[in-house]
Chains A and B, each alone.
Chain A
Amino acid sequence: MSALEMRYEVPGNDFTRAGEASSAIKNKLKQMGIPPGVVRNVAIAVYEGEINMVIHASGGTIDVFVDSDAVSLVLRDTGGGIPDVELAMREGYTTAKEDIRSLGFGAGMGIPNMIKYTDEFKINSEVGKGTVVEMKVYLEK
């Protein structure tokens, strides 16, 4: 059992609301007195994941677990999945189209950022089923 568990729904294909879950998570962690550096790392990592669920899937859920040693995040979607995960993890790799790129996304740095800002990162994806991203940020380095 975690000290705190929260679930957020991410609506699909709604760019105007993308980031709402991440902002809510950030505010909650801040309120709880989690160190600002940890909060920022979580916020950036989860926002990249949230944006991916909106751009590349059709929304999903984000579960947040706060424990005495770490903040854990599980992002689940039932989108089209990723055919080659190793390729998707590479810096600069993207399948985003021009309309997304014109909004400033699709630089292929989302997954690299998730890896950079978290202490543990796992991604499991099945084509036609969806993607699960699990991340952990330790409270003490």
Chain B
Amino acid sequence: MKVKDLIANLGFESVHEGEPDREISSVYCCDLLSWVMGRASADSAWITVMGNMNSVAVAVLADISVIVLAENAPIDSAALEKAKQQGVNILKTDKPAFEAGLLINNGL
């Protein structure tokens, strides 16, 4: 499944599409950045409520396919700017992390 399919088929909302054709191969849920870097696989969809500069850096460095902001968690403007510069995919949903993760996982 591609990042753009989350928007087209699963009801996720676009915050920034840096690379909509990027493939998603797994899902990981956590807000602690070192846990994400330690456990999330490359090309995963990462579900979090952490919308700051550091989350964008983690997505870039750990080869995360897309950041999914659960419960419509906000992203600060500096982070969004950085995501645009670096071509990072960011989506949001009103669903809690667990439900969002299930939804994506069922679509893989």
Residues of A within 8 A of B (CB): 15-16, 18-19, 22-23, 26, 36-37, 40, 43-44, 47-48, 51, 103-105, 107-110, 112-113, 116
Residues of B within 8 A of A15 (CB): 53-54
Q: A103 to B57, alpha carbons, bound, how many Å? A: 12
Q: B9-17, B21-29, B33-41, B91-99: which one contacts chain A?
A: B33-41
Q: A43 to B62, alpha carbons, bound, how many Å? A: 7
The one of B54, B60, B78, B86 in contact with A105, judged by C-beta atoms closer than 8 angstroms, is B54
Which of chain A's residues has its CB closest to B60's CB?
Answer: A23
Max chain B CB contacts within 10 Å: which of A15, A36, A107?
A107
6 pairs, A vs B, C-beta closer than 8 Å: A15-B54, A40-B63, A47-B58, A107-B34, A109-B34, A109-B35
Are the CB atoms of A113 and B34 closer together than 8 Å?
Answer: yes
Residues of B within 8 A of A51 (CB): 54
Are the CB atoms of B33 and A107 closer together than 8 Å?
Answer: yes
Q: A5 to B60, alpha carbons, bound, how many Å? A: 23
* B50 contacts partner chain A, Cβ-Cβ < 8 Å: yes
Residues of B within 8 A of A47 (CB): 37, 57-58, 61
Are the CB atoms of A103 and B52 closer together than 8 Å?
Answer: yes
Interface of B is mostly: helix
Are the CB atoms of B54 and A44 closer together than 8 Å?
Answer: no
Are the CB atoms of A40 and B62 closer together than 8 Å?
Answer: yes
Which of chain A's residues has its CB closest to B49's CB?
Answer: A104
Are the CB atoms of B61 and A113 closer together than 8 Å?
Answer: no
Are the CB atoms of B63 and A22 closer together than 8 Å?
Answer: no
* B55 contacts partner chain A, Cβ-Cβ < 8 Å: yes
Chain B, 61-92, CB within 8 A of any chain A CB? 61-63, 78, 86
The one of B31, B54, B63, B78 in contact with A36, judged by C-beta atoms closer than 8 angstroms, is B63
Residues of B within 8 A of A16 (CB): 53, 78
Residues of B within 8 A of A19 (CB): 53-54, 57, 60-61
Are the CB atoms of A23 and B57 closer together than 8 Å?
Answer: yes
Which of chain B's residues has its CB closest to A39's CB?
Answer: B63
Shortest beta-carbon distance from B66 to chain A in Å:
16
Are the CB atoms of A26 and B61 closer together than 8 Å?
Answer: yes
